[in-house]
């Protein structure tokens, strides 16, 4: 069933048209990935659908009961709130009722005999029952924990930008919605968290629309891809792999059509130049057709980004890391780590957020000093460091001025000289955009410009810290191709599993307490090793349990079965313990039914109930085991 329709939408900023006359339908169960080159209007389209931005032309229609939840790239926060308060600061009916309920609880404490407040509290309690709001707080805590946020009472003002983004994501996930809109949800997340989010979104009911450059994420979550390309919107049913195939087919078809138009255009051009005499009306119509064909061939965009810069010779000694250590506030990030970088190295650095990956990169680049140990860099080494932070870019400079700081022209890998302006065009900065101020660029466009400036310096060792953040898929694909042919060493921190699989031949994994372990192969090889190791540990544990059980029940092989002293006492008392727990559970259910006006007490009772239920389940499982063992012992006596 259709929940929202976009009809003939056009959006422009001044003379720049982002998209023109586009249409889209979103149905229940759709999980849509929106892709396109940075600056083409992906975020703007999300904002229009979420009603945070207006279109110039066109209409959006949706059912009256449709609820939309939106996670923006740069969410707003009330810094005086705690983590949980921020999560519950939503506009859904559930969040409004929860806030009203808490407010009414405060009022009744000061006016316990006020009948109006009592009735209001009872009505709110009934609404919370009907909407099943009582479990929202527990669910919110679970999601926050999975996203790496454990201090729920911390003030938002004390958290990093990445942590705040994850709090905003938790708020979007916890609020009931028919359409969930996410703009770059995987930024600032480690691989384990991204895997959890994949599973969560796959199990979630309702429609999903998101912008992400994580290609594995797209492949595993979405069932539809929409792409903004040259102001148009193209739709592909299927995941990212299907999209690649279908887009290639579309481009092949377009190229054939373009060839036909170019042939016709040349024919019309010859006619125009020949000055053939004809009736004025026919000549006018043919000239109009010529102009139309000319415009169509002029409008075909040049999509390829050519990263073909020069290269500096790299000697035998590159980078030697010897016994480095680094701690902050008594937390060990790096413990006695050594490594000798090879020319053929393509190293991916992985691990949870905040564990020290960027610190290691900063030590290698000598932006940060280790507490002990040394980093030796060879004389021929020219490091290009693409860091996470591009705040050093002067927003008051024009794009062309920023690039020319590296020179008026560069020498390509083939020895040709091209101007800075031509290089910018290769990086999808048109002549008009080159004279724009950097402050006017999108986040992705700034990252692309920053990357270009680094590569123009012809490095022979690349340090890339989260290079995939904010770069569009097209730029990433060409960057990967460049790195594949790069004649030097590469070290990259990344949460993008697709990128790590394509680039890396070694993985350095941060495993806690400063330990960094080396694995051979790409990210898939590393993750498979970790899974196999976990499986082996599980099997070993299971075998240990089987051996222990056989000591107790293998009477067929003449091994006598008997209770240990502790098991005998446990078996004699367990039924009484089960009865006590069942009585306690009955009492607490009665108490919960009586508690309608004290939310704090009710929360404590619900937690206590859950604890009793868990203990009861454990006792019942233990009782089953002991009863079966007692029966086997009895059977053994009769053999």
Bigger pLDDT: 88 vs 351: 351
Residues 55 and 129 in one domain: yes
Cα distance from N-terminal residue to C-terminal residue, the chain: 67
CATH code for position 378: 3.40.50.300
Residues 471 and 344 in one domain: yes
Which tens digits make up the pLDDT trace of 377-397? 999 999 999 998 777 889 899
Beta bridge mates, 82: 155
**Do the Cβ atoms of 626 and 570 come closer than 8 Å?**
yes
Residues 37 and 120 in one domain: yes
Measured CA to CA, the distance from residue 632 to residue 42 in angstroms comes to: 67
Residues 266 and 213 in one domain: no
Measured CA to CA, the distance from residue 276 to residue 281 in angstroms comes to: 13
Residue 216 lies in a domain: yes
Confidence band, pLDDT 50/70/90 cuts, at residue 38: confident
Q: Look up the domain containing 476 and give its range.
A: 319-521
Residue 125 lies in a domain: yes
Q: Which of 268-282, 490-504, 561-575 has the lowest mean pLDDT?
A: 268-282
Residues 149 and 285 in one domain: no
Residue 394: count other Cβ atoms within 10 Å of its Cβ: 12
Residue 574 lies in a domain: yes
For residue 228, what pLDDT is reported?
93
Residue 47 lies in a domain: yes
Is residue 413 scored above 70 in pLDDT? no
- Residue 13: both structure tokens together: 């900023």
> Model's pTM, two decimal places?
0.69
For residue 292, what pLDDT is reported?
61
Closest CA to 311 of 486, 464, 492: 486
Is residue 600 scored above 60 in pLDDT? yes
Residue 105 lies in a domain: yes
Residue 307 lies in a domain: no
**Do the Cβ atoms of 561 and 555 come closer than 8 Å?**
yes
Residues 87 and 178 in one domain: yes
Is residue 626 scored above 90 in pLDDT? no
Residues 99 and 220 in one domain: yes
Residues 413 and 290 in one domain: no
- Residue 471: both structure tokens together: 């770069």
Is residue 72 scored above 60 in pLDDT? yes
Which tens digits make up the pLDDT trace of 449-472? 998 888 888 899 999 999 888 888
Pairing state of beta strands 224-229 and 31-35? Answer: parallel
Measured CA to CA, the distance from residue 59 to residue 469 in angstroms comes to: 32
Residues 199 and 339 in one domain: no
Is residue 372 scored above 80 in pLDDT? yes
Q: Which of 188-192, 211-215, 324-328 has the lowest mean pLDDT?
A: 188-192
Residue 545 lies in a domain: no
Which tens digits make up the pLDDT trace of 134-177? 777 778 888 989 888 888 888 888 887 778 888 999 989 988 88
Q: What is the mean pLDDT of residues 180-197?
A: 89
For residue 320, what pLDDT is reported?
95
DSSP state for residue 231 in the 8-state scheme: T
Q: 45 Cβ partners below 8 Å, 6+ apart?
A: 9, 11, 18, 19, 34, 228
For residue 272, what pLDDT is reported?
61
Is residue 218 scored above 90 in pLDDT? yes
Residues 292 and 323 in one domain: no
Query: Between the CA of residue 582 and those of 232, 572, 575, 578, 616, what are the distances in Å?
Result: 64, 18, 11, 6, 7
Residue 338 lies in a domain: yes
Measured CA to CA, the distance from residue 108 to residue 586 in angstroms comes to: 29
* 557 three-class SS: helix
Which tens digits make up the pLDDT trace of 541-595? 555 555 555 544 444 444 566 777 777 788 888 888 888 888 888 888 777 767 6
Residue 264: count other Cβ atoms within 10 Å of its Cβ: 15
Which tens digits make up the pLDDT trace of 287-338? 565 566 555 555 444 444 455 566 678 888 999 999 999 998 888 999 999 9
Q: What is the mean pLDDT of residues 64-89?
A: 85
For residue 378, what pLDDT is reported?
93
- The domain total for the chain is 4
Confidence band, pLDDT 50/70/90 cuts, at residue 230: confident
Number of separate helices (H) and strands (E) present in the chain? 19, 20
Residues 425 and 504 in one domain: yes
Is residue 112 scored above 60 in pLDDT? yes
For residue 211, what pLDDT is reported?
95
Cα Rg of the chain, angstroms = 32
Closest CA to 328 of 367, 362, 355: 355
Is residue 229 scored above 70 in pLDDT? yes
Closest CA to 459 of 384, 525, 399, 385: 384
Residues 271 and 230 in one domain: no
């Amino acid at each position: 069933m259709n929940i929202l329709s976009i009809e003939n939408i056009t959006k422009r900023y001044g003379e720049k048209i982002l998209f023109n006359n586009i249409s889209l339908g979103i149905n229940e169960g759709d999980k849509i990935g929106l892709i396109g080159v940075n600056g083409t209007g992906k975020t703007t389209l999300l904002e229009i659908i979420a009603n945070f931005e207006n279109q110039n032309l066109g209409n959006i229609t949706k059912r009256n009961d449709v609820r939309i939840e939106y996670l923006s790239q740069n969410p707003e926060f009330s810094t005086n709130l705690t983590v949980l308060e921020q999560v519950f600061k939503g506009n859904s009916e559930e969040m409004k009722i929860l806030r009203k309920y808490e407010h009414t609880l405060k009022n009744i404490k000061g006016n316990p005999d006020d009948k109006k407040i009592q009735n209001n509290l009872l009505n709110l309690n009934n609404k919370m029952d009907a909407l099943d709001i009582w479990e929202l707080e527990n669910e919110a805590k679970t999601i926050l924990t999975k996203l790496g946020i454990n201090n729920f009472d911390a003030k938002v003002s004390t958290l990093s930008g990445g942590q705040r983004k994850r709090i905003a994501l938790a708020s979007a996930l916890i609020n009931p919605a028919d359409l969930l809109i996410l703009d770059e949800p995987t930024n600032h997340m480690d691989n384990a968290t991204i895997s959890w989010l994949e599973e969560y979104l796959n199990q979630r009911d309702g429609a999903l629309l998101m912008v992400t450059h994580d290609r594995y994420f797209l492949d595993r979550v979405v069932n539809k891809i929409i792409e903004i390309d040259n102001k148009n919107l193209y739709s592909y049913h299927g995941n990212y792999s299907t999209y690649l195939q279908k887009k290639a087919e579309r481009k092949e078809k377009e190229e054939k059509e373009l060839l036909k138009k170019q042939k016709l255009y040349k024919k019309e051009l010859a006619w125009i130049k020949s000055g053939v005499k004809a009736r004025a009306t026919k000549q006018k119509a043919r000239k109009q057709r010529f102009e139309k064909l000319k415009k169509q061939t002029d409008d075909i965009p040049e999509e390829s980004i050519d990263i073909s810069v020069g290269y500096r010779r790299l000697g035998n000694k590159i980078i030697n890391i010897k016994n480095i250590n680094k701690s902050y506030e008594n937390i060990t990030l790096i413990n006695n780590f050594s490594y000798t970088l090879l020319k053929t190295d393509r190293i991916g650095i992985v691990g949870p957020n905040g564990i020290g990956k960027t610190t290691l990169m900063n030590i290698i680049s000598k932006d940060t000093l280790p507490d002990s140990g040394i980093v030796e860099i060879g004389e021929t080494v020219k490091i290009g460091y693409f860091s996470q932070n591009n705040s050093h870019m002067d927003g008051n400079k024009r794009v062309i001025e920023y690039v020319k700081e590296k020179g008026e022209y560069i020498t390509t890998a083939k020895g040709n000289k091209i101007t800075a302006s031509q290089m910018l065009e290769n990086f999808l900065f048109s002549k008009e955009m080159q004279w724009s101020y950097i402050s006017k660029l999108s986040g992705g466009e700034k990252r692309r410009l920053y990357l270009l400036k680094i590569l123009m310096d012809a490095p022979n060792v690349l340090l890339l810290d989260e290079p995939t953040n904010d770069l569009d898929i097209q730029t990433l694909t060409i960057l990967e191709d460049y790195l594949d042919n790069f004649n030097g060493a590469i070290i990259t921190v990344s949460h993008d599993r697709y990128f790590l699989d394509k680039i890396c031949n070694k993985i350095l994994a941060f495993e806690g307490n400063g330990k960094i372990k080396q694995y051979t192969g790409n990210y898939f090889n590393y993750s498979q090793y970790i899974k196999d190791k976990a499986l082996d540990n599980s099997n070993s544990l299971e075998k240990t349990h089987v051996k222990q059980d056989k000591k107790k029940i293998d009477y067929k092989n003449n091994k006598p079965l008997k209770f240990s002293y502790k098991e005998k006492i446990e078996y004699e008392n367990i039924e009484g313990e089960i009865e006590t727990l069942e009585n306690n559970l009955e009492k607490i259910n009665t108490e919960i039914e009586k508690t309608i006006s004290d939310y704090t007490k009710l929360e404590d009772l619900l937690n206590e109930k859950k604890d009793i239920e868990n203990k009861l389940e454990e006792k019942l499982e233990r009782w089953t085991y002991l009863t079966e063992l007692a029966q086997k012992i009895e059977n053994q006596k009769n053999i």
